[in-house]
Amino acid sequence: MADETPKPSELLAKLDHRPPATGWMDTPVEIRKGMYCYAANPKSVKALGLPNARQWNPLDDDWKLPDNWQQILHEGFKERLEKFRTFKVFMDICVRCGACADKCHFFIGTGDPKNMPVLRAELLRSVYRNDFTTFGRILGRLGGARPMTMNVLKEWWYYMFQCTECRRCSVFCPYGIDTAEITIMGRELLNLLGLNIDWIATPVANCYRTGNHLGIQPHAFKDMIDFFCDDIEEITGIRPNPQFNKKGADILFITPSGDVFADPGTYTCMGYLMLFHFLQEKYGFDITWSTYASEGGNFGFFTSHEVMKRLNAKMYLEAKRLGVKWILGGECGHMWRVIHQYMDTMNGPADFLEEPVNPVTGTKFENAKSTKMVHIAEFTADLIKHGKLDLDPSRNDNKIITFHDSCNPARGMGMFEEPRYVIRNVANHFYEMPANTIRENTFCCGSGAGLNAGENMELRMAGGLPRANAVKYVHEKFGVNMLACICAIDRAALPTSMEYWVPEMDVTGLHELVANALILPGEKQRETDLRGEPLPGMEDADE
């Protein structure tokens, strides 16, 4: 999709230094390269049995829609208004107070008013008013209503895929409107016409068929874990012995596949392996990986409720098949929102599993009583609190750390303290970013909700600005050089964002820091951290 070089006359024609002065309804959408992701591969759409699988290009005039596309959208809209009470309420109750307007990282970074959450939602509401309210039908544009046209549809598509469903805006809404749910509905409606992006559709098709987003088959998945064991053995002299698909194990472990295949998540994965090995040696901990339910992430969440449910079910079916007591989940973002907020009414309650109890400490995880799935940050914090881990935090002394609250564990399940508690116990240098950029106010990495593709790099960088701006501040003020997070998309997206905005910053998962500090029984004197970089004081040691 190479760009054509513009002619001088074309460039001169564009020499207008003023933005359009028209109202939002009269400012037609301009689909700009760098801001959108490529259209879904028809093979992937077909594999999921979703409608209108075909080759199409967002830059073309003709999106190859069925003749009755307006009717399909109208009926789809109607069905969802009847089915989802929240959607109906969110369409009706917004008073356009503007509290959310300047809270979105995409608005802040791109400066595009249609990225104000209120206006992004208004794209849907305007059609809702026209199609489903008497007021809108009578007053038309005066009442903020407009009919669905091709231009409106393109606007929907462009902006529904410029929202990472991070829910920062919802924190500020006095009515509690969850704008992420409006995006979720918008995307679900677009999927009725086959208007998904490939960065979502293909991982979903892979996950549906093979068990993970990358389409890694079981033997390759095991091979990768074995490579990590080789590396761990080289660094520590100890080789972990992970269990795979073990029937009757106490616990099933599921993490996003990004941890297994993408740096720096791979070091986090090595961290899990070392932690499990430690617990196995010292306390007889019995945990298994699955090569079938090998994906914690759920890009179905970014497609439709039905697809999200399909992918989520695989984890529970595997837990049932193996006969484990409960599930431990790795460092992932949206996986936790799916589990914490949707899983119980989609596929739960998981009555065949037991209420999770930490076998090492005896702690009952009351919050996971129904879902039976515990977050590993919580699990490790509990181990540390009970003095069950042997730790040498000085091994992380060359890392001056800050913590990025990943949107979904933070706003989707209220996990603020556990990761911080873990970091403070495995490292000695930790600094917080400014208060309005962390915890429930955290800024998204700019690439969540399936927008972590390469072709939309300008969007990702602009959306990543508010987060990077706060990172830059602690870098300059405290010398922070390591950005910790508990989300696989963060680990994939933040290194690129940092390279653009704060080039001196590295990115790490929580359990990479844990494993650096963790003293394995019988280990040799370590000279390097998990990345092969010299440990503090070991800079001159021979390789």
Binding site for another protein (CB under 8 A): 11, 14-15, 17-21, 32, 34, 101-102, 107-113, 116, 216, 220, 224, 261-262, 434, 436-437, 454-455, 457-458, 461-462, 465-466, 469-470, 473, 496, 499-501
Q: Work out the angle at residue 274's Cα, subtended by the Cα atoms of residues 354 and 438, and round it to the nearest 5 degrees.
A: 75
Query: Which residue's CB is nearer to another protein, number 109 or number 194?
Result: 109
Compute CA distances 91 → 73, 175, 185, whole Å: 16, 12, 11
| Shortest distance in whole angstroms from residue 207 CB to another protein | 17
| Shortest distance in whole angstroms from residue 440 CB to another protein | 15
| Shortest distance in whole angstroms from residue 468 CB to another protein | 8
Residue found under tokens 């004197």 = 525
Q: Name the token pair of 192.
A: 């009725």
Give the count of beta carbons closer than 10 Å to the beta carbon of residue 272: 28
| Shortest distance in whole angstroms from residue 458 CB to another protein | 5
Q: 496: helix, coil or strand?
A: helix
| Shortest distance in whole angstroms from residue 470 CB to another protein | 5
Query: Which among 469, 330, 485, 332 is positioned nearest to 401, based on CA atoms?
Result: 485
| Shortest distance in whole angstroms from residue 457 CB to another protein | 5
Query: Which residue's CB is nearer to another protein, number 33 or number 364?
Result: 33
Query: Which residue's CB is nearer to another protein, number 370 or number 441?
Result: 441
Q: State how far the Cα of 295 lies from the Cα of 312, in Å rounded to an integer.
A: 9
| Shortest distance in whole angstroms from residue 332 CB to another protein | 20
| Shortest distance in whole angstroms from residue 21 CB to another protein | 7
Query: Which residue's CB is nearer to another protein, number 1 or number 387?
Result: 1
Query: Which residue's CB is nearer to another protein, number 278 or number 403?
Result: 403
Query: Which residue's CB is nearer to another protein, number 108 or number 192?
Result: 108
For 228-248, letters b (16+ CB in 10 Å) and e give bbebbeebbebebebeebbee
Q: Name the token pair of 425.
A: 């116990």
H or E segment at 321? helix 305-322
Compute CA distances 79 → 152, 157, 182, 342, 524, whole Å: 20, 20, 15, 19, 63
Query: Which residue's CB is nearer to another protein, number 126 or number 437?
Result: 437
| Shortest distance in whole angstroms from residue 220 CB to another protein | 6
Quote the DSSP letter at residue 387: T
| Shortest distance in whole angstroms from residue 507 CB to another protein | 14
| Shortest distance in whole angstroms from residue 455 CB to another protein | 7
Give every CB contact of residue 167 below 8 A, 6+ residues apart in sequence. 178, 179, 180, 407, 411, 412
Cis peptide preceding 349, ω within 30 of 0: yes
Query: Which among 517, 520, 521, 543 is positioned nearest to 532, based on CA atoms?
Result: 543
Query: Which among 240, 237, 217 is positioned nearest to 227, based on CA atoms?
Result: 240
- First-to-last C-alpha distance (Å) of the chain: 46
Query: Which residue's CB is nearer to another protein, number 372 or number 439?
Result: 439
Give every CB contact of residue 141 below 8 A, 6+ residues apart in sequence. 25
Q: State how far the Cα of 270 lies from the Cα of 426, in Å rounded to an integer.
A: 16
Q: Name the token pair of 439.
A: 């915890």
| Shortest distance in whole angstroms from residue 109 CB to another protein | 7
| Shortest distance in whole angstroms from residue 337 CB to another protein | 24
Give every CB contact of residue 285 below 8 A, 6+ residues apart in sequence. 250, 251, 276, 279, 359, 360
Query: Which residue's CB is nearer to another protein, number 11 or number 93?
Result: 11
Compute CA distances 135 → 41, 84, 86, whole Å: 40, 22, 21
Q: State how far the Cα of 477 lies from the Cα of 17, in Å rounded to an integer.
A: 37
Query: Which residue's CB is nearer to another protein, number 107 or number 128?
Result: 107
| Number of separate helices (H) and strands (E) present in the chain | 24, 8
Query: Which residue's CB is nearer to another protein, number 119 or number 308?
Result: 119
Quote the DSSP letter at residue 450: T
Compute CA distances 370 → 50, 59, 221, whole Å: 31, 46, 30
Kindly report the length of the chain: 543
Query: Which residue's CB is nearer to another protein, number 18 or number 85?
Result: 18
Query: Which residue's CB is nearer to another protein, number 23 or number 387?
Result: 23
